[in-house]
Chain A
């Protein structure tokens, strides 16, 4: 097991290296640069000033020098400084990451619990009204994109019903309180969660249906166990095993989704930061964001493998 983890981590080094190359190439290939982005905002500037600013940021050097410089910094644990405000990219991310993790974590947890529960119920009531209704709801859920769901929720619950706030992480001018924070969390988290809950539900239903046909379920029934014991003890755990994969796959899409949702709800996480940095052509921040999410996704995949071995005793890594 330990050697498996070690091997996986070793293998992730070249992958991460590849990520840095691609990220750098994309950041570099974007039209314009940080200096031009600033100029459009500021007063018109002379060619000399532009050249000087580029020189300060190191943008006048050959691409491979810029890359080597950047990668050298990273190896020292330094993600560089923002072109826009000169702050350390590492500091910005550390400051904003908890916000995003809160949003994503809550969304994922809610999606998983609701989706799995409904999926199992749907399977147990196969071809009954409950099943059909849930299946229909699931189709609606997977058909509505994150951003539209977000706008819909804002319109209904914030603008029309006025039950919940529409943006930010806390009410402006008030002292920060957890309850207030959670009220702000409801809509963005729901926007992210509904789509994924629908997906979990589809997979949980399929997984449970497959398990219901297994002969060990028949064995359990032949022992005279109660239906509840059969479903929960013998069925659920087996049905959950394939869901681990879905869970692992949901994570990268959540990062993508959170970029959109954080923008709609002005949630000050790294997604919002990423959008701002793209607008400003702030390439150190862009690259820092992508690198960090790549690392998190890789760790999540490792976590998925571990979860497998915990849930399924037949799985052993060596």
Chain B
């Protein structure tokens, strides 16, 4: 919980021009044989002062990870090659020293935490061994002493029962705990630089808040400098000192965090900020950056952003702009930065979000007391001994023409609910009424009939398209399966759909691997729309996409809705995006809906303590917001859904919980008024102030 003012004070105290612990100068990295190179990092320079925290922000392929991995000697050579540059760590060049020497710095002076804690810990070794090995390697400690220090570090990162947990294996921990262990592992040798490579990207938003808080606290305690790699400007806005924005392997803008947001100079940074929804500037339409991510196989002899830039001119395509000073402590690499200005959601096509036609008050879909339980079988006879209560009594309505969002953390049952509605999971109980007909548990012809009217857009556009089928076949497959139209009419329909989602007709005969992530998701949307459904279930349709592409897809979904008269059930965890695009929101926790109401009511005046915590954990793309917003950091993680806590499922983590919460499952009460519509909350203490 660092406010902007404390950051400012911290920076002032440090003073400018302080000794840099790390100085990267003109670093360039290429992959592949020369002449056929991928230019991953181009002439990157930055300084990191003692105790400073620097964020390097960029989309996938921007070279941010390659940059730091090169410093650590972690890229594979070949195919990787450092073609230029120095990286001075306390005066010694990391890139020039022999591997033996670098090895002694790695893990001792510069340590790293990684994106996915599940895969970055070795699954077959105990965490005790993995925690102590760096200590034994670098400090020559004996087992007992190494174990003692590892235990101290585990306690510091907040792992309870540390002595017992030392003998456990990674799969016995939750994602949040594993990332804590990953942090402990990196910090055991008390490094002077910690490199955090998207350490919260794989985690839920409340866990993300915990991890950020932990790292910021440890940074103060241990006095280390941090390089925080992220794709999320909003996230780092809250706690870093400086931000360097990377695009296509180059730093395009670098500034103290406050200046970056208030005096943004580079068109790309401006584009990024305009393509993410903000809590303070809701309801202005997102302005996506046009085009697709850059092609890094071209030599960096021009501005890589030019093809996507509204301000580009001839010069931008001919020469690469140098990184030049643009104010105190701010640098920018753009020929035209003096002429570029950023207003609130400016840029081409900025407009208010199209006025939402009030959804008709007629339920298209009514789900009542839906339960999806997955049996747990054990023993010689495979008797059922329990069940994972993935969805545990969920009721909601989706009105014709509206967008209802189901939000919650992983494991809360939101995706299972969506899948059950489409008939991809078999409900254990409850009814699902679509246009007046209950089809819960329907199979065969009846279910097929349903699927004409409802379709799904899937999360991962890379995995959900068959790699052996052309785009045209993928889109038309549903029509064939439903035996709709003739061959010719289906062909015509595919063309129509391609145009509808903004894809060129030429892409029809391509295969998914030839498309970018954004294009693939457009194919996924076209496929879902093929049979003219009335209802679309979108299961985290943008979470696998780059920030600048997310806005394109969100705008597409937004445009299609009134045009085709669609109704959306949007499943997601990105709360700021959900606030932007939904009419009503249902917040789920451990298989149940804890709060449901209009987006305005739920986001404006959340009444359930879980909703409040969830909302307060949303990173806000504004460093000043950190000081005014109170962040409620929930302890612990989501409990095991096969053994949900008695009474209110949320009570073990709830700041308001009292006796009654541990015993009685709270009924839903309507807190809505005429102005806000129905606002149901399942909490004994709904609306009470948190102390």
Contact = CB atoms under 8 A, between A and B. Distances in A.
Interface of A: 3, 6-7, 10, 214-216, 218-226, 229, 233-234, 237-238, 241, 311-314, 318
B120 interface: yes
Nearest to B106: A224
Nearest to B111: A222
Contacts of A241: 124
A225 B114 CA distance: 17
B149 to A, nearest CB: 14
Top 5 nearest A-B pairs (CB, nearest first) are A224-B107, A224-B106, A223-B107, A313-B169, A216-B122
Contacts of B124: 237-238, 241, 311-313
Given A3-B378, A7-B380, A234-B125, A224 B105 contact: yes
Given A3-B378, A313-B171, A223 B123 contact: no
B14 interface: no
A214 B122 CA distance: 9
Chain B interface size range? 35 or more
Interface string B233-265: 000000000000000000000000000000000
A212 B115 CA distance: 18
A220 to B, nearest CB: 7
Contact of A224 (B69, B138, B169, B182): B138
Nearest to B137: A225
Contacts of B120: 215-216, 218-219
Most chain B CB neighbours (cut-off 10 Å) among A214, A222, A318: A222
A241 B122 CA distance: 13
B444 interface: no
Interface in B112-134: 112, 114-116, 119-125, 133-134
B74 A221 contact: yes
A257 to B, nearest CB: 32
A214 B115 CA distance: 13
Contacts of A215: 114-116, 119-120
29 contacts: A3-B379, A6-B380, A7-B382, A215-B120, A216-B122, A218-B74, A218-B114, A218-B120, A219-B112, A219-B120, A219-B121, A220-B122, A222-B112, A222-B186, A223-B133, A223-B134, A224-B104, A224-B107, A224-B137, A225-B103, A225-B133, A225-B137, A226-B137, A234-B125, A237-B125, A238-B123, A312-B124, A313-B123, A318-B378
A225 B134 contact: yes
B122 A238 contact: yes
A225 B188 CA distance: 14
Contacts of A214: 119
A265 to B, nearest CB: 40
Given A3-B380, A218-B69, A224-B137, 7 more contacts: A3-B378, A7-B380, A215-B120, A218-B74, A223-B106, A226-B137, A237-B124
B106 A314 contact: no
Contacts of B107: 222-225
B137 A314 contact: no
Contacts of A234: 122, 125
A222 B72 contact: yes
Contacts of A237: 124-125
A225 B108 CA distance: 10
Contacts of A311: 124
Contacts of A221: 73-74, 106
Contact of B114 (A6, A219, A238, A312): A219
A286 B123 CA distance: 46
Contacts of A220: 122
A241 B125 CA distance: 13
Contacts, number: 88
B108 A10 contact: no
B462 to A, nearest CB: 17
A281 B105 CA distance: 74
Given A3-B378, A314-B169, A318-B378, A222 B123 contact: no
B440 interface: no
B185 interface: yes
Given A215-B114, A225-B107, A10 B380 contact: yes
Contacts of B123: 216, 238, 312-314
Contacts of A222: 72, 74, 106-107, 111-112, 114, 186
B185 A223 contact: yes
A131 to B, nearest CB: 14
Nearest to A10: B380
Interface in B371-429: 378-380, 382
B121 A216 contact: yes
Nearest to B73: A221
A241 B103 CA distance: 29
A221 B119 CA distance: 14
A160 B601 CA distance: 93
A144 to B, nearest CB: 35
A28 to B, nearest CB: 36
Nearest to B103: A224
Contacts of A226: 103, 137
A218 B113 CA distance: 10
Nearest to B104: A224
Contacts of B111: 222-223
Contacts of B115: 215
A313 B172 CA distance: 10
A6 B137 CA distance: 45
A220 B111 CA distance: 11
A295 to B, nearest CB: 21
Residue among A216, A226, A229, A237 facing the most chain B CB atoms (10 A cut-off): A216
Contacts of A314: 123, 169, 171
A21 B364 CA distance: 59
A233 B125 contact: yes
A282 to B, nearest CB: 39
Nearest to B134: A223
A251 B137 CA distance: 41
B201 to A, nearest CB: 13
A229 B379 CA distance: 40
Most central of B72, B119, B122, B182 by chain A CB within 10 Å: B122
A313 B122 CA distance: 11
B33 to A, nearest CB: 13
Nearest to A235: B122
Contacts of B116: 215
A6 B382 CA distance: 12
A3 B378 CA distance: 8
A223 B186 CA distance: 7
A216 B182 CA distance: 11
A22 B378 CA distance: 33
A6 B119 CA distance: 33
A234 B133 CA distance: 11
Interface in B515-560: none
Interface in B590-604: none
Contacts of B114: 215, 218-219, 222
Nearest to B188: A223
A13 to B, nearest CB: 13
B444 to A, nearest CB: 32
Nearest to B378: A318
A237 B105 CA distance: 27
Nearest to A218: B74
B110 to A, nearest CB: 9
Nearest to A216: B122
A212 to B, nearest CB: 9
A42 to B, nearest CB: 54
Nearest to B195: A222
A242 to B, nearest CB: 13
Contacts of A313: 123-124, 169, 171
Contacts of B137: 223-226, 229
A312 B74 CA distance: 27
Interface string B73-94: 1100000000000000000000
Nearest to A221: B74
Contacts of B134: 223-225
A234 B103 CA distance: 17
B88 to A, nearest CB: 19
